[in-house]
Each structure stands twice: as C-alpha cells, then as structure tokens.
Chain A
Amino acid sequence: MTSKQNILSEIRKHGRQPIEMPSFETLSPVRYEDCLEQFVVTARQVGGRVALLEEGTDINALIRSFYPEASVIASSLPFVEAALDPDTVADARELNGTDVGVVKGEVAVAENGCVWVPQTMKERAVLFISECLVIIVDRKDIVNNMHEAYSRIDNPGYGCFISGPSKTADIAQALVMGAQAARDVLYVIV
C-alpha cells in the first residue's frame, strides 16, 4: 500500500460523520462609504506610503520624486524607465541590488491595505529583493474586503497580497520595517 492509500484509509477508518459546509448568507462583511479613502488610511497604518497620480503627470517623474537617490530601477512594465527587466534577466540573482522595483497590482483591499500582485514577470524576486517597492493600482480596482478580493482574483501560478513594507518585531517586540524584503512600499493610485 502506498503512503497515499495508507493515509486516506486511516482517515476513512477514523473518519467522522460528515458535517455540512456553512452558508455564507449570514455573513455581511464590512463595507466603506469611500473605498479609496479607507484604503489610503489602512495602507498608511500598515507602514506604506500613498501617492495619487494626477491626470497628465508622468509616473516616472513621480517615482523619481519619491526616490531621488535611486540608481537601479527594475520593472517589466513598458511605460516605466528601468535599468533592469525581470523578464529578461537570466537569473533572479541579477536583481539583487535593485533600489526600486515597480510593479502593477490588480486588486486593492480597503480593509487591510493588501494589494494583489500576480506573477506576470519571469522573475518574481523583484517583489522582494528590491530595497523599495512601488505598486501601481487603478482606483477602480479598490474593493471593500477580502471576500470581494478573492472573488475577483485569478492566480497565474504565483500571486501575493502585499500589505506594506516587510516588517518584524522578533527582537524584543520592537517593530522594525525592512526585515528580509522591501523596506519601503509606495502605492501609486492612478
């Protein structure tokens, strides 16, 4: 007997009377009057920064204004001026040393500052290895809560909800931004 058969037969042997899946109808999840406003509040609470891109403003100029010292920008977005492209690097390690990574988020969540970033690039390391991360979000894609978010997303193989910069409190419970991944996250809302 394979281990798979062994485990499944043990489960059936000890198995219990099946219990029904609950109905989701009793749940009325939080909604906000203004999702954009709430998203901005929550995104800041989780340590992120937020910039609204006004019509007619160049996104590259905006990124430069937030990161004037950045020398290496990595992005596979065609409209972003970048020195490195996660689609064309031969190996993820080449992205080490990136100052600013720029990616596009598909769904933003007002209740917790999460933005869904699916892997649309060859090397997703850009999301984590960059010192700072810029996530571009369309204001039409901001939803109230995770229930709405999960009903909208699709995962192409890898995808991540990112809520602010990498953080830790593992030393004496003191909150520090920039544990292993980006130390700074800027949400650009277009």
Chain B
Amino acid sequence: MATRHSKAARLFQKNREKAEWQDNTLWGVRVKRDRMAKSLDEWETLRDMASAIKKHTVTNLDVYLEQFAENAEKNGIIVHWAKDAEEFNETVLDILRSHDVRKLVKSKSMLTEECEMNPYLEKNGIKVVETDLGERIIQLLDQKPSHIVMPAIHLTQEEVGALFEKELGSEKGNSDPAYLTYCARKSLRDEFLTADAGLTGANFGVAQTGEIVICTNEGNADMSTSVPKLHIAAMGIEKVIPDYRSLAVFHRLLARSATGQPSTTFTSHFRGPRPGGEMHIILVDNGRSRMLGDDLHWETLKCIRCGACMNTCPVYRRSGGYSYTYFIPGPVGVNLGMLRDGKKYHDNVSACSLCCSCDNVCPAKVNLSEQIYAWRQQLRDFGKEPMSKKVMSGGMKFIFDRPGLYNAAIGCSPLINAAASAAGYAGLGLWGKGRDLPEFAKESFHTMWKKGKVKNDK
C-alpha cells in the first residue's frame, strides 16, 4: 500500500536529524500533557463530561445554534450564516469592502484555512497579515501549517533566522528564538496599529450568553481586535456549546491537552462590539451538517482542535504534517479528510498503526483510531481498496476454502525459507519492506500432531 502518505513519510525520514527532533519534541509535549492530566483526580470524569456535552450539543445543534444567534444579536453582534466556503469568503469580503478595509490582521483559524480565505481576499486586493507567530512565519514562507497548534513545528530556528533576515531585516546569522520573537513582535506591532479590521476564529460559542471564546498564548487575537474597530469572527457550527458550566469543562481540558499548560495565557470572551466598534460572527456549515448524518463517523464533530492526537501519534511524529494530503494532519485530520471527501483524501487512512493512543488522550473522547479502522473497511465504497490487498485476500479465501490445497501449501512452506532469502524478500513486496519473514518450521503442527510428536509433558 504505497499511499501518498507513506511515500511522503519516506521523504520526511530522509532528514534523520530533523525527523528525530520532531519525534522527540512532540513526545515532550505529550509528556507535559500527561503531567497535567495526572495532577487532577477528576481528569477522566472531565473527559467523559466533555464527550457527553458535545454529544448532547451536536444532537441538538439546530436548537443551540438558534439560541446562540438570537443571544448574540441581542448583544449587538451581527450574525451571518454561510452554507459553504464560497459563501463564507464572499461574506467576509462584503463586510471588508463595506468598511473600506485594505489591511486585515488575523489570528489563527483552521476554518479560514479550510475555506482558503487568505488567497481569496488577497486576490481581491485585501492585504492579510497572520499574527500568530507560527502562522506569520509560514505565511512569509508561503507554506501551510504542519500542525494545528504548532504550525511551524517543521522549521528549525536557523530556517526562521534566515527568513527574518530577509523579510524583517533581523541580524545576520542570529537565530536565537528570543531575539527572533522580539523582531516579529516589533514588526507585528506596526501591523496591529495600521490594520483596518481584525479577524479571529472561535474556540467556543456559548449559546446561553451569545458570546464567543478564543484561547491564545500570544494575545494576538486580542491585539487584532482591540486596536481596529471592526471584528469579524469565523465559527464552525459545531463550536457551539450550551453554557458557562460546559465552558468550564472544556477550558480545563483544552490547554492541558494541547500543550500541557493549566490554561492558555488568554481566554478571551467577546460578547459584543467594542465601544464605537462593530462585531460580526459568521456561522459556517461547509459540510458539517452532512457529517452529522454519518452513522459511523459523526462523533468526529466532538473534536475541540487541541492537537493532542498529533503529539501522541507514532505515525504523525515520524512522518510530519506535510505527509498527509488533507490540511489537518494526524489522527483527527485523517478522519476529517475522509468526512470531507473520501475519494480525494483516502491516502491518509494508511497513516495509522491502530495503537489507539489518540483515543486515550483525546479530551472529548473521539474514538479516532476506531474510526480510521472503520474507514479502511469502507475504502471499497470509494473504489479505493488497494489492488494488492484485494488480490491477497481473494487468494487467501480461495485457499482457506479448500482444505486439501491448504495442507499441500503448508507442506511446501519450508521451501519458502530458501526461496525468500534467494529472492530478497524485503524487496519483493510492500509488506516485506521493513519486516523480516519468520522462518517456517520444517514440519507443520498438523503433521507433528498426527505423528504423535506433540506431547503433553505435564
């Protein structure tokens, strides 16, 4: 099964030093997460509750969305609804044009990545400046995030140093992270002060109070919305939660799961426009309502985008975010990609060893690996069952259905010992890559039993 993922993973592994650094670094984040989880006796109860609250909310999604929108409007927020990416992008552009916005500062939003908003706005003459440091770095490199929480995890400090030297005029050869962060801070300050509007995502939308909540460590979502007067928030419809009681549960899980911090530095609650300002929320469906109807996979909608499944995943850590063909990598990305378009993103289902580690760290208890297993069983529905597997399982069925032939085949198996080494087994088939064939016994158990060679010594 040489999927596009496995081919890309092999390329990633060619730079052994970088691959090892990423593996160790992400595992370090997982260890920090564990420390946080173990410091709370109620951790598992919190996970159970988060899962149950999400199940409750997405199975009552129409009710909560209407409540959210109604309360947000009462708070003076202008609420828009966008059924797909196209309508979302057009809505953003309309709002920006009606305010003569030329420069937009924005904080991290996976939804805007999903809708490819930045290129759309740039094409229409709006300058877009990412303000999360990691996002800014990859924007300057014209790259995509390789991790949803640590978007520039694939870059070394030397690479960032070289970039800043060229783009921000930093000192030649200085790749000290503190120095580079300071250079970005200075440059972004100018952008905040001269921007005409700020755009953010939303980690949560609280139905009862009609407000959105955004979690950042840098404070960039707040800088983006406390200087310009116009604030636009992009929110996927599955982000709505019932109330503050629920929010407390998710708040306690999110940063601990994501980075091993007890909280993000800033948890910002926007319940209306600034004095003299204007606030818009765009609620985006873009396929989510359809995903809700998928009996096997609807629970993926419980995801709160913490990225813990990536940090723990042995395949993600060793293959990097760019080896996946969907813009969200790792276990949850495999699932979201398949929900988006199974025909297009089926390559990623091979990126799983079924170790189930992701299921055990997910704060909302999304059964990620079980779902990946289910997607593999469904590959045939997309016409994407790998040919080699089809031939293999077809052949096995033929043999297992015929006991005579089976016995004859087993009788011949010792021959494989010689044949395999002669043919160079590892080079023959994909299964053989990275695996050694066990040596076949000279006599089968079946024959030994018949000859009375199997004795019970007790």
| Chain A positions 157 through 168: 1 when the CB is less than 8 Å from some CB of chain B, otherwise 0 | 111111111111
Please tell me if A70 contacts chain B, counting CB pairs below 8 Å. no
Please tell me if A171 contacts chain B, counting CB pairs below 8 Å. yes
Please tell me if A44 contacts chain B, counting CB pairs below 8 Å. no
Please tell me if B153 contacts chain A, counting CB pairs below 8 Å. yes
Give the residues from 1 to 52 in chain A that come closer than 8 angstroms, CB to CB, to chain B: 2-4, 6-8, 10-22, 24, 26-30, 42, 45-46
Q: Which B residues are CB-close (under 8 A) to A114? A: 263, 267
A171 engages B62 (CB within 8 Å): no
Q: Which B residues are CB-close (under 8 A) to A162? A: 265-266
Most buried by B among A145, A160, A170: A170
Please tell me if A129 contacts chain B, counting CB pairs below 8 Å. yes
Q: Given contacts A16-B298, A19-B55, are A179 and B133 in contact (CB under 8 A)?
A: yes
Q: Which B residues are CB-close (under 8 A) to A60? A: none
CA gap between A157 and B6 in the complex, in Å: 49
Residue of A nearest to B60 (CB): A18
Q: Which A residues are CB-close (under 8 A) to B69? A: 4
Which of A122, A161, A166 has a CB less than 8 Å from the CB of B263? A161
Please tell me if A173 contacts chain B, counting CB pairs below 8 Å. yes
Residue of A nearest to B259 (CB): A169
Please tell me if B162 contacts chain A, counting CB pairs below 8 Å. no
CA gap between A13 and B293 in the complex, in Å: 8
Give the residues from 44 to 94 in chain B that come closer than 8 angstroms, CB to CB, to chain A: 45-46, 48-49, 52-53, 55-56, 58-62, 65-66, 69, 75, 80-83, 87
Interface of A is mostly: loop
Q: Given contacts A7-B81, A27-B46, are A157 and B25 in contact (CB under 8 A)?
A: no
Q: Which B residues are CB-close (under 8 A) to A173? A: 25, 28-29, 150, 153
A168 engages B217 (CB within 8 Å): yes
Give the residues from 102 to 127 in chain A that come closer than 8 angstroms, CB to CB, to chain B: 109, 111-114, 122-125, 127
Most buried by B among A7, A96, A166: A7
Binds B, one of A61-69, A77-85, A134-142, A147-155: A147-155
B157 engages A174 (CB within 8 Å): yes
Please tell me if B156 contacts chain A, counting CB pairs below 8 Å. yes
B70 → A minimal CB distance (Å): 11
Q: Which B residues are CB-close (under 8 A) to A16? A: 58-59, 292-293, 298
| Chain B positions 24 through 55: 1 when the CB is less than 8 Å from some CB of chain A, otherwise 0 | 01001100000000001110011011001101
Please tell me if B268 contacts chain A, counting CB pairs below 8 Å. yes
Interface residues on B, range: 35 or more
B219 engages A166 (CB within 8 Å): yes
CA gap between A17 and B25 in the complex, in Å: 42
Please tell me if B257 contacts chain A, counting CB pairs below 8 Å. no
Binds A, one of B245-253, B374-382, B450-458: B245-253
Please tell me if A146 contacts chain B, counting CB pairs below 8 Å. yes
B159 → A minimal CB distance (Å): 9
Residue of B nearest to A119 (CB): B274
CA gap between A26 and B272 in the complex, in Å: 34
Residue of B nearest to A172 (CB): B157
A181 engages B223 (CB within 8 Å): yes
Which of A7, A27, A170 has a CB less than 8 Å from the CB of B134? A170
A186 → B minimal CB distance (Å): 15
Give the residues from 137 to 191 in chain B that come closer than 8 angstroms, CB to CB, to chain A: 137, 150-153, 155-157, 160, 177-178, 180-182, 184-185, 188-189
Interface residues on A, range: 35 or more
Q: Given contacts A163-B262, A163-B264, A167-B218, are A11 and B178 in contact (CB under 8 A)?
A: no
Q: Which B residues are CB-close (under 8 A) to A13? A: 289, 293
CA gap between A6 and B134 in the complex, in Å: 36
Q: Which B residues are CB-close (under 8 A) to A167? A: 217-218, 265
B293 engages A163 (CB within 8 Å): no
B157 engages A171 (CB within 8 Å): yes
B378 → A minimal CB distance (Å): 18
Please tell me if A132 contacts chain B, counting CB pairs below 8 Å. no
A163 → B minimal CB distance (Å): 5
Most buried by A among B41, B292, B298: B292
Please tell me if A190 contacts chain B, counting CB pairs below 8 Å. no
Give the residues from 209 to 227 in chain B that come closer than 8 angstroms, CB to CB, to chain A: 209, 211, 217-220, 222-223, 226-227
B218 engages A168 (CB within 8 Å): yes
Q: Which B residues are CB-close (under 8 A) to A170? A: 132-134, 137, 150-152, 181
Q: Which B residues are CB-close (under 8 A) to A128? A: 219, 222-223, 226
B323 → A minimal CB distance (Å): 20
Please tell me if A188 contacts chain B, counting CB pairs below 8 Å. no
B248 engages A112 (CB within 8 Å): no
Q: Which B residues are CB-close (under 8 A) to A72? A: none
B380 → A minimal CB distance (Å): 23
Which of B56, B133, B262 has a CB less than 8 Å from the CB of A19? B56
Give the residues from 249 to 301 in chain B that come closer than 8 angstroms, CB to CB, to chain A: 249, 251-252, 259, 261-275, 283, 285, 289-290, 292-293, 298
Which of A2, A96, A145, A179 has a CB less than 8 Å from the CB of B181? A179
A-B contact pairs, 10 of them (CB 8 A): A2-B81, A3-B87, A10-B83, A16-B298, A129-B226, A150-B245, A150-B251, A155-B271, A169-B150, A180-B189
Q: Which residues of A contact B (CB under 8 A)?
A: 2-4, 6-8, 10-22, 24, 26-30, 42, 45-46, 92-93, 96, 109, 111-114, 122-125, 127-129, 145-147, 149-151, 153, 155-174, 176, 178-182
Q: Which residues of B contact A (CB under 8 A)?
A: 25, 28-29, 40-42, 45-46, 48-49, 52-53, 55-56, 58-62, 65-66, 69, 75, 80-83, 87, 131-134, 137, 150-153, 155-157, 160, 177-178, 180-182, 184-185, 188-189, 192-193, 209, 211, 217-220, 222-223, 226-227, 237, 242, 244-245, 247-249, 251-252, 259, 261-275, 283, 285, 289-290, 292-293, 298
